[in-house]
Amino acid sequence: MLHRALRDVVGEHAAQAGSLVAPDRLRFDFTHTRPVTAEQLQAIEQRVNNWIRTDAPVTWNTTDYKTAIERGAIALFGEKYGDQVRVVRAARTADDSAYSADTIATIATRDSQELCGGTHVARTGEIGLAKIVNESSVASGVRRIEMLTGRAAVEWVDAQLTTLHDLAARLGTQPTQLAERIDSLLSEQKQRQSELDTLRSQMMRGELASLLETARQENGLTLLVARVNTSDATRLREMGDWLRDKLGSGVIVLGTVIEEKPQLLAMITSDLVQQGYHAGKLVKSLAQMVGGGGGGRPDMAQAGGRDVEKLDEAIASVPQLLAEQKAGA
């Protein structure tokens, strides 16, 4: 029934490519080149369950292969069949008049008929309930649907409802309003995060303004070398950009500790790059001192290391390393 419903919803190209069938669950692999959408999965599941609720008869008979195919039975790709085959058929229902037109339309466009040697229920209603719990890719051009049936499907639904009610209670709302409540909380979080980022930027600029005053002249260069506190490498780069823009001409080297590891940033303004100074070479030398490696462009470079205790020593060596660069130039 899943095979027939799958073909009705996503197309006749969706052919079985492997399966596992147990009393309470099944795994069905099929040919398809893209994920099955949530809407398609819902439609497939609805067809199967409507089919189950009709309590349609499941019958089987033996006939020759050619006749079975002519009568619409599906032969599985890769399987080898003899002259005589077993055809299993699940009819839509013995009496369609007992169901609305909408229900009949979602059962199947036709009966399910396959060449199959497995055991089967006598009527579709014996399955009880079918619930798709996962859809995924297993190989190029092959997707997989996992489904629970009977008591296992009911237990899964009960577990989901328990979780839903628990979450709703924690958030002080009703299960039917849970999505709206979550959207509201996410919006509040986004607003607070924006306010926090603005506050951090203001604080950072205040700290950087004070740091800018520590810039000094040495060997004809304006140097701003310092150890700073920051939460991540991106913010370290933002600090360097702000200081470089304010400095105009000079060399900036910042060191920090992120997740218990030393991080270094060097920036050199374009006029000094033209004189032969190179941020990438500078950072490479500094990184070696803290047990790391790295490099970068002449105007900007970042690197990390392992030895936090060597960070201050590395920062203190910046004037000497720049002097060596000048001499080498």
Sequence spans of domains, the chain: 2-170, 208-328
| Residue 166: strand, helix, or coil | helix
CATH of 208-328, picked from 3.40.50.720, 3.30.450.20, 3.40.47.10, 3.10.310.40, is 3.10.310.40
Where do we find the tokens 């203001």?
202
CATH architecture entry for 2-170 = 2-Layer Sandwich (3.30)
> Taking the model in full, what pTM does it have?
0.58
Q: What is the pLDDT of residue 108?
A: 47
- What is the mean pLDDT of the segment spanning 175-200? 90
Closest CA to 108 of 52, 157, 152, 61: 52
For the chain, first and last CA: distance in Å? 78
The pLDDT tens digits for 67-124 are 776 666 666 655 666 677 777 777 654 444 444 545 444 444 455 666 666 667 888 8
pLDDT in tens, 33-52: 999 999 999 999 999 998 89
Distances (CA, A) of 288 to 144, 219, 252, 273: 50, 24, 18, 22
* Distance between CA atoms of residues 23 and 76, nearest Å: 22
